[in-house]
Amino acid sequence: MRTVANCLNISEAQSICIVLDASGIKSFIPDENVATAAPYLFATKSGVRVQVAVKDEVRAMEAISDAARTVKPDDNQQQSI
C-alpha cells in the first residue's frame, strides 16, 4: 500500500476515498477507527492517511489532483463567510 494523502481529519480522508472510488480505485484509511474515536491524536501528527495499492498510486494522485482543481473556487466568485 502507498500513502497518497495525509488529511487534516477523517472527513477529508473519507472525501478523498469517495473521489478515488468514483475513479475505480480502491482505497483504505488505516487510521480510520482511531481518527474517528480520538481525532485530537492526529492534530500534531502527519494526519489521517489514505492509501491505495502500489499499482494505483499514479492514477490516485491524478484523481486527487483533478478533484482539487474542480472544487477550488474561481477567483471571480464571491465567497461567503
pLDDT digits (tens, 9 = 90+) for 27-81: 999 989 988 898 887 766 778 999 999 999 999 999 999 998 876 555 555 544 4
Give the pTM: 0.79
Query: Which triple of cell numbers denotes residue 65?
Result: 489532483
Query: Which residues are registered as beta bridge partners of 51?
Result: 3, 28
Report the pLDDT averaged over residues 16-24. Answer: 97
Annotated domain spans of the chain: 2-71
pLDDT at 79: 47
Write out the three cell numbers for 56: 494505483
Tell me the CATH number of domain 2-71, given options 3.30.70, 3.30.450, 1.20.58, 3.90.930.
3.30.70
